[in-house]
């Protein structure tokens, strides 16, 4: 083999081998900065629209004004009080809705008769907008905290139930038959085959339920609430304070994103055995 051929093989081997330190650093930096590209672009468009006069400051305050209002609310403890009230309602309603959502989804996915009994009603309820429930919940539970928590629970229940039922129904039938051939009883099949096989879909439902619960929080805090981010948002609109409205919206966005990130991290930890495209991409980041 000629010397030129050897050098060519060596060059190709270097190119196809593991990335060097510089390439790893660049890849890591790209992965860190990529999620911030779109927010930075939106912030730049925000500043540009104010600078060019496309919108007025009373319609869209400047970023320094938003930051000043945020620090003022934080310093007075007002923001912490509203965030605490919203989180308490969200956690209570989410737990109250997600737990029966998983249970009924498992039952509907494994029992044809139970699915025929429950699913048509749930599918009908899913088509009702969230705000349409507010008058009924006011009549049923009054204007207290109970009505708000139940409304959030309803929002969390629907996606959790639907995704859990679909996940159980998608478990490979051959695995269940094989488990039965090995002498597994119904409970052992449930815990050793059906639950592990459906857990990715269950977590999809839990994350969707959490997202919808955040949406229902705003509707819930319209029910004569005196605190909470939804109350602060409506109060800012009624007092012509767009800076307070935007602080509420941005706080909702940060809290919603943070809660979903925590649930996604729990999903990755519990479902580390998955060998899927998404799991592989997460490992390479």
The topology (CATH level 3) of 63-284 is: MetI-like fold (1.10.3720)
Least confident of 118-122, 172-176, 204-208: 172-176
**All residues at 6 or more sequence positions from 162 whose CB lies less than 8 Å from its CB, including other chains:** 105, 122, 126, 205
- pTM metric for this prediction: 0.80
Give the CA distances from residue 276 to residues 91, 220, 279, in Å, rounded to whole numbers and listed in that order: 31, 38, 5
Tokens of 51: 């600078």
For residues 266 and 200, what is the distance between their CA atoms, to the nearest angstrom?
Answer: 12
Radius of gyration (Cα) for the chain, nearest Å? 25
Q: Answer yes or no: are the C-beta atoms of 97 and 154 closer than 8 Å.
A: yes
Q: Answer yes or no: are the C-beta atoms of 216 and 154 closer than 8 Å.
A: yes
Q: Delimit the domains of the chain by residue range.
A: 3-51, 63-284
pLDDT at 74 > cutoff 50: yes
Q: Answer yes or no: are the C-beta atoms of 189 and 180 closer than 8 Å.
A: yes
pLDDT at 98 > cutoff 90: yes
pLDDT at 121 > cutoff 50: yes
pLDDT reported for residue 68: 92
């Amino acid at each position: 083999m000629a010397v030129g051929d050897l050098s060519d093989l060596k060059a190709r081997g270097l190119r196809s081998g593991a990335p060097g330190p510089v390439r790893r650093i660049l890849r890591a930096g790209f992965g860190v900065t990529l999620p911030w590209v779109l927010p930075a672009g939106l912030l730049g468009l925000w500043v540009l629209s104010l600078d060019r006069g496309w919108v007025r400051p009373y319609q869209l305050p400047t970023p320094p004004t938003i930051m000043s209002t945020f620090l003022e609310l934080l310093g007075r403890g007002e923001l912490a009080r509203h965030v605490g009230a919203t989180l308490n309602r969200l956690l209570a309603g989410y737990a109250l809705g997600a737990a029966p959502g998983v249970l009924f989804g498992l039952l509907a996915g494994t029992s044809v008769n139970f699915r025929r009994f429950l699913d048509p009603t749930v599918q009908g309820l899913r088509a009702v907008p969230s705000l349409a429930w507010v008058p009924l919940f006011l009549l049923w539970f009054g204007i207290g905290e109970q009505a708000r928590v139940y409304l959030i629970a309803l929002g969390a229940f629907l996606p959790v139930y639907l995704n859990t039922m679909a996940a159980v129904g998608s478990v490979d039938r051959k695995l269940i038959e094989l488990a039965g051939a090995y002498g597994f009883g119904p409970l052992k099949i449930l815990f050793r085959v059906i639950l592990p096989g459906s857990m990715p879909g269950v977590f999809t439902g839990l994350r969707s339920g959490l997202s919808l619960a955040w949406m229902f929080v705003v509707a819930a805090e319209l029910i004569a609430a005196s605190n909470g981010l939804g109350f602060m948002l409506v109060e800012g609109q009624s007092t012509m304070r767009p800076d307070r409205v935007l602080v509420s919206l941005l706080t909702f966005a940060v809290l919603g994103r943070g809660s979903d990130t925590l649930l996604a991290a729990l999903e990755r930890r519990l479902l580390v055995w998955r060998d899927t495209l998404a799991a592989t991409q997460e490992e390479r980041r």
